[in-house]
Chain A
């Protein structure tokens, strides 16, 4: 069965520092992968997605993610974090039957001044 693991429950970074959030997936075929962000009291907003092609994908708000098949990973990165990036981040894989999303447990990002 497909699954997604986000090893870090909570990460704190300083404003202006770089960020990497880890995501590992378990999937038999070529995965369709997503990163969503959830601010307090808000729904989920799509940051970026990977379907095929270039393994480095660019998203909104300056985020990027790299798909590495050999490591079953899809890590999210940002070169310089802003205080407004504090939120919960979810990695997800699309189920190959029906299209539902299977989410990781999320990583909460805190940004210190």
Chain B
């Protein structure tokens, strides 16, 4: 079974530029999460999708971050414009559904450096 795919793996941009990350979850997984992991910290949820609907985006900085999952499969996370403090690893995770007994499967992440 293929795992969660993410691209690109690394990205370096200047502040105020825009960037987009892509995630393809495990086939059949209805729930998709984007987490931000700043160096030295644990991952923190940015947004959660159930199929193509948003379940939780309370921690997403909506003035600069956006995300979509139009067909309920793959997802794109965008930052526009980027700030220095956006430097982090962006992790995508998926699970069949958000019930208690299902683990979340994580992709390798995209490491973003904002200069």
User: A residues engaging B (CB < 8 A)?
Assistant: 4, 32, 34, 36, 41-46, 49, 51, 90, 92, 94, 98-101, 103-106
Q: A44-B43, A103-B44, A106-B41 are in contact. List 17 more A-B contacts (CB 8 A).
A: A4-B42, A34-B103, A43-B106, A43-B108, A44-B91, A45-B106, A46-B103, A49-B103, A51-B100, A98-B48, A98-B56, A99-B99, A100-B33, A100-B48, A101-B45, A105-B41, A106-B42
Question: Which 8 pairs from chain A and chain B are nearest by CB?
Answer: A103-B42, A99-B98, A43-B106, A44-B106, A100-B45, A43-B108, A98-B56, A46-B103
B61 within 8 A of A: no
Chain B residues whose CB sits within 8 angstroms of the CB of A104 once the complex forms: 42
Max chain A Cβ within 10 angstroms of own Cβ: one of B99, B101, B106? B106
Q: Which residues does chain A contribute within 8 Å of B31, judged by CB atoms?
A: 99
A77 vs B104: C-alpha distance in the bound complex, in angstroms? 22
For the residues of B in contact with A, the DSSP-based class is loop
B108 proximity list for chain A (CB < 8 A): 41-43
Q: How far is the CB of A13 from chain B (nearest CB, A)?
A: 21
Chain B hits for A49, CB < 8 A: 103
Query: A20–B43 Cα gap in the complex (Å)?
Result: 22
| 24 A-B contact pairs sorted by A residue (CB < 8 Å) | A4-B42, A42-B108, A42-B109, A43-B4, A43-B108, A43-B109, A44-B43, A44-B91, A44-B93, A46-B103, A49-B103, A51-B100, A51-B101, A92-B42, A98-B48, A98-B55, A98-B98, A99-B95, A100-B56, A101-B104, A103-B43, A103-B44, A106-B40, A106-B41
- Which chain B residue lies CB-closest to A45? B106
Interface residues of B in 81-115 (CB under 8 A from A): 91, 93, 95, 98-104, 106-109
